[in-house]
Structure 1
Amino acid sequence: MSLLEKVKNLFGFVPANERSEPSLTTPKPTPAGPPPAAQLREQVMRFVISKLRAYQNEPDTAPVGLRLSVLGTTPEDEELYRVALWANQPGKFQTELTRQLADNYITLPKNWQFEYAFFTDELPESTYQEGNLGLVVVDKSKPDRSPLLARIVALVGQLEQEEYILDSAQKATYCIGRGHTTQTASGRVRTNDIVLLNDDDPTFNSQKGAGNGAVSRAHATIRYDVVQKRFALLVDPGGLPAGGNKTKLIHPDNTIERADIAGMSYPLQSGDQIELGGEVMLLFELL
């Protein structure tokens, strides 16, 4: 090696033909547009709005209930739709749908009902179908002339009344909880329709109501489904495992159904036993 080359090496000079080119990595392109669940949500919104255009500026004949059917052939499809429908935030999709319908001059009644269900084989009979979506529309111009009656009694635990009559013609939603009222996380005061007694109530029986303390103040709700013409159980935050409680349905054939998904409707059949907090058992009967 010549003296000149030694000096170049000493000071870090490298011939151009020996220099290594820096590795260039092509950055991954950023996906354009909203995430898949958001796109799916907008697709469902457009589907519903398009089918309800006949009710624009016609509030007197607007539907009182909508039931969305989704054909999901894989668990991944169903999970994506659950995210799109904000399944973990009950009521949020209905609120946003109400807003978008109003933007299109479609006004639904104050207490209109919205439900959704998943199917893996084929969509059920619907008012409208498009692709893998189906929509059942309940028009209040054709009211249900056969109201459904049911009753709730306590098999284990102490209710304030011996029995509670559920009349679909008078009321669609019946809240179940310990005590008469409680304040929800949003600050709203909730009034229970089916009341389990607190231990400080004058009529509380310590033996009969020994398990009442396991029931949340906002545990569950029984709602009349105007689309399916049946009562169904929905579990409120206090009755979910995250709230430290459990809710189950024991059907007349002795099969047990865990009710642990927020926003999910669990259809009730006559003779069902509703277990609250692992301690209280209510009997649901159609009249």
Structure 2
Amino acid sequence: MKNFFKRLLTNPTPAAPEQSESLPTGNVQPTLSIPATKAKREEIIKFIINGLKPYIDEKGHTIAGLRLYVVCNSKELEETLKVALCDDTPGMFQKDHLERKLINNFIQLAGGWFFEHHLVNDKVPDYCITRGSFGLEVIRRGQDLFQQYSVARLQVLVGQTEFPEYELDPQQQLKFNIGRTKNPKLSTGRIHTNDIVFWAQDDPQFDAQRGTANLHVSRNHAYILYNPQLDKFFLFPDKGGLPENGNKTRIYTTDDKMKSLNVPGVSHELENGDQIELGGAAILVFMKV
């Protein structure tokens, strides 16, 4: 027995090896976190509410609309933003996610108020409330401002369109999309709606002789945006109307100057008589009424 205890003391049982600090790579579940889409949506809503702090509990300052601009430089971020802003269900972000939060923060909203979002590659417009990659334009509409809305027209000089002339009436809508065919399906799979429609080759209304210039117009070439605060119309290149996609958007002014719109989110203030050239072929002329 003495010899047994002597051997035990001189040869103790080896200690179990220390566990590694690194986690095993087996069937261990990763730590859960807030989904990227939900986190981005909450970040956007928080930015909007913070940007509207001057309007909290100000009953004399009713908000008629909001335009959100977000700088987006990657496809992954673009998809996250589109899902967060309910891009496939127009009005859902405004009604189901944003409106209740604004009302809870005592921000006065006009009946029929609108919300728009725009993804830009470069920078948000200079007239926005900004923070980081976000920009917010606030549209305040009272009866006096509503009566001051200007109306403009687009006359088609070259190209075959649905109508020879289009009225741009801000009391009906603030954004007017320009492109080929009425409801084209974009490369992303999204259905796009054009207001100024150049007929496509497969449209039954297309005429080969009159519609030659249409072949140079992208499905989502450009859009015109009315700014109620400035009472002005601005022309923006859309994704399909940029040089990177093989297209061009140019303006020829009445004083014989030419301007190319090559940067997403950068606009041209339209003046009476400006000619808009799409793809180097189709031409529209802008006229103030």
Give the TM-score normalised by the residue count of structure 1.
0.61
Distance 1:239 1:43, change over 3 A: same
1:198 to 197, 200, 214: 200
Distance 1:276 1:245, change over 3 A: same
Farther off after superposition, 271-280 or 98-107: 98-107
2:53 to 50, 55, 68: 50
Alignment partner, residue 64 of structure 1: 64
Distance 1:213 1:176, change over 3 A: same
Alignment partner, residue 264 of structure 2: 262
Secondary structure at the residue paired with 2:192?
Answer: strand
2:63–2:113: 8 Å Cα contact kept in structure 1? no
Alignment partner, residue 283 of structure 2: 281
Deviation at 1:101, TM superposition (A): 8.3
Distance 1:63 1:255, change over 3 A: same
Distance 1:190 1:113, change over 3 A: closer
| Alignment partner of 1:112 is 2:115 | yes
2:225–2:233: 8 Å Cα contact kept in structure 1? yes
Give a deviation string over 1:98-122, Cα, whole Å, max 9, x none.
Answer: 768865635766633579533xxxx
Give a deviation string over 1:35-93, Cα, whole Å, max 9, x none.
Answer: xxxxxx999768614323336xx8x964234689xxxxxxxxxxxxx9xx51656xx59
1:49–1:101: 8 Å Cα contact kept in structure 2? no
1:148–1:169: 8 Å Cα contact kept in structure 2? no
Distance 1:147 1:103, change over 3 A: closer
Distance 1:144 1:158, change over 3 A: same
Distance 1:258 1:168, change over 3 A: same
Deviation at 1:196, TM superposition (A): 0.5
- Letter of the 2:64 partner, please give it: V
- How large is the Cα RMSD of the aligned pairs? 4.1
Output the CA distance in 1 between the equivalents of 2:100 and 2:262: 33
Deviation at 1:275, TM superposition (A): 0.9
| Alignment partner of 1:244 is 2:246 | yes
Aligned residue pairs, count: 221
Output the CA distance in 2 between the equivalents of 1:185 and 1:261: 20
Distance 1:222 1:64, change over 3 A: same
2:170 to 168, 171, 174: 168
Structure 1 residues without counterparts, runs of 5 or longer = 1-40, 69-81, 119-123
1:86 to 71, 75, 83: 71
Structure 2 residues without counterparts, runs of 5 or longer = 1-43, 87-92, 119-123
Secondary structure at the residue paired with 2:57?
Answer: helix
Secondary structure at the residue paired with 1:218?
Answer: coil
Residue identity (%)? 32
Output the CA distance in 2 between the equivalents of 1:164 and 1:117: 27
1:248–1:258: 8 Å Cα contact kept in structure 2? yes
2:186–2:219: 8 Å Cα contact kept in structure 1? no
Output the CA distance in 2 between the equivalents of 1:114 and 1:204: 33
Output the CA distance in 2 between the equivalents of 1:204 and 1:100: 42
